[in-house]
Every structure is written in C-alpha cells, then in structure tokens.
C-alpha cells in the first residue's frame, strides 16, 4: 500500500477504536479444531478483534468493488 493508503487505514482503525467502549481481554486459544492452526498466540482485546474485523471487511469490500467491473 502507498503511504496515503496506510494513513487512511490507520485513521480508520483509530476511528473504530474510539467508537467502541473499553473491552475485556479474550484468553489465548491453542489450536483451531478444524484447521489445526494457532488461534492466537497471546491474549487479545475483544475490541481489537472487532476493529481488525472491520478493517478486513472494508478491504474485502473495496477489493470486490474494484474487481467487479
């Protein structure tokens, strides 16, 4: 990504973090039962999971929009 794109994504992350109330920690998992891959290597904040899920959704939506036509 360009510097401008990175700045916009980080601004979006900041915006998403500010709109969520303080969250609780979600304990680290071991391995996903279906894939066998590590779920997380350390504790994660539930809000961080929500924020990065929003970022992933925005990026996937943008990709779909750009590749439709």
pLDDT tens per residue across span 8-41:
988 988 888 888 766 555 455 555 667 665 566 5
pLDDT at 16: 83
H or E element that contains 58: helix 46-68
Largest CA distance in the chain: 43
DSSP conformation letters of 13-47 = HHHHHHHSPP-PEEPP--B-TTT--BS-SS-EEHH
For the whole model, what pTM was predicted? 0.58
């Amino acid at each position: 990504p360009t510097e401008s794109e990175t700045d916009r994504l980080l601004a979006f992350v900041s915006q998403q973090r500010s709109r969520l109330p303080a969250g609780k920690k979600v304990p680290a998992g071991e391995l996903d039962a279906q894939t066998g891959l590590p779920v997380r290597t350390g504790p994660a904040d539930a809000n961080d999971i929500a924020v990065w899920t929003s970022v992933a959704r925005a990026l996937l939506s943008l990709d779909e929009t750009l590749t439709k036509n």
